[in-house]
Structure 1
Amino acid sequence: MNETVNLMITRRSVRKFKSDMIPKEIIDEIITAGTYAASGRNSQSPIIIAVTNKELRDKISKINAEIMGKPDGFDPFYNAPVMLIVLADKSVPTYLYDGSLVMGNLMLAAHGLGIGSCWIHRAKEFFEREEGKDLLKSLGIEGDYEGIGNCALGYVDGNYPTEHPRKENRVFYVD
């Protein structure tokens, strides 16, 4: 089987990470893959915020849990030490699709490099709040960006998740 197709078939969402930090070189390689995602009219509108600072990561996690309605101490990022947050420029008609493709590339690249990943939602809600707007401002990011997703990255703690059977009747050929 083709190596790329095999990565697509074997990637799983990881929901239990070790706290060990991923080397910067590996994070950078995953980010590079994200920047090569397809985008409508090659707009390349999505941006990636790499969060490796534990204090900031924990703050974002706490707000994410609050948005979910979870109790204090719940970690929706499953202890992942790295968060790659994808945002996209809402003025681009394909921004949501473009940002989703970036998320897919990040997760596939991570899997190919032996790093677990999971798409965590609520990036949109986080960046609608003052804390999210303040983070963008502190990074010098201007424009009308929407949070697309949080890509949790880390080493898998325990066994790699097993696959779920594929549902039938999802492909239709028209000859």
Structure 2
Amino acid sequence: MYEENAVIHALCSRRSVRSYDSSRPVEQEKLDAILAAGQYAPTGMNQMPTKFVVVRNREVLQQLSKQNAAIMGKEDVDPFYGAPVAIAVLVDASVHTWVEDGSLAIGAMLDAAYAVGLGSCWIHRAKETFDSAAGKELLQKWGIPDTYRGVGFCIVGYANGELPEAKPRRADQIIWVD
């Protein structure tokens, strides 16, 4: 669909990846491209209230994954699916568009990951993760003010296997008012 336009093609072809080759590191230039997409995502009144914490340290990834799984109530799963990178998207909650700003940044990063040949997935429960005592301790350790709240995690890495096939779009999603 829309092969003649690379941007539209990427937007329509990207899929969430839930199985990663954890032994294959993600190149710095690809991470830089993904982060640039997040930084250039629209924000309310161009306030740019987002912060991106790129976690490649396996111990911290495991800590965040375990905390995320506990919040989900499924402590025996890895909500990060073995991805070698998790980008925590944090936004200054004193900005009234903080949820929207963080959401747009994650969406842009998901699309950018596909565009540079990587798999990605939005992982929820970042708000609960960083609202907890353990999460607040991490924010303090990273030098992030306590007004920042988690919006989501963008996990990134090389997919194990092929991307999932797209499900057909629902016919009732678009309503025309002429």
TM over 0.5: yes
Cα drift, residue 143 of structure 1: 3.6
Q: Return structure 1 stretches of 4+ with deviation > 4 angstroms.
A: none
The residue aligned with 1:166 is 169
Choose which of 4, 25, 29 in structure 1 pairs with 2:7: 4
The residue aligned with 1:106 is 109
The residue aligned with 1:140 is 143
Choose which of 49, 55, 61 in structure 2 pairs with 1:57: 61
The residue aligned with 1:95 is 98
Paired AA for residue 28 in structure 2: K
Question: 1:90 & 1:155 partners in 2: Cα distance?
Answer: 32
Question: 1:18 & 1:91 partners in 2: Cα distance?
Answer: 38
CA contact (8 A) 2:120 2:156 kept: yes
The residue aligned with 1:131 is 134
The residue aligned with 2:125 is 122
For normalisation by structure 2, the TM-score amounts to 0.95
Question: 1:51 & 1:64 partners in 2: Cα distance?
Answer: 14
Runs of at least 5 residues in structure 2 that lack an aligned partner in the other structure: none
Question: 1:131 & 1:120 partners in 2: Cα distance?
Answer: 18
Choose which of 155, 158, 162 in structure 2 pairs with 1:152: 155
Classify the secondary structure of the residue corresponding to 1:84. Answer: strand
Cα drift, residue 21 of structure 1: 1.3
Choose which of 47, 50, 67 in structure 2 pairs with 1:46: 50
Cα drift, residue 29 of structure 1: 1.5
The residue aligned with 1:21 is 25
The residue aligned with 2:74 is 70
Paired-residue identity, %: 45
Question: 1:64 & 1:122 partners in 2: Cα distance?
Answer: 6
Choose which of 28, 37, 40 in structure 1 pairs with 2:41: 37
Paired AA for residue 128 in structure 2: E
Classify the secondary structure of the residue corresponding to 1:169. Answer: helix
Question: 1:124 & 1:71 partners in 2: Cα distance?
Answer: 18
Offset from partner CA, 1:96-129 (integer Å, 9 cap, x none): 1110000011001000000000000000000011
Classify the secondary structure of the residue corresponding to 1:165. Answer: coil
Paired AA for residue 61 in structure 2: R
Question: 2:75 & 2:154 partners in 1: Cα distance?
Answer: 22
Offset from partner CA, 1:40-96 (integer Å, 9 cap, x none): 100111111100101100110011111111133x21110000001101111111111
Runs of at least 5 residues in structure 1 that lack an aligned partner in the other structure: none
For normalisation by structure 1, the TM-score amounts to 0.96
Paired AA for residue 51 in structure 1: V
Over the residues paired in the alignment, what is the CA RMSD in angstroms? Answer: 0.9
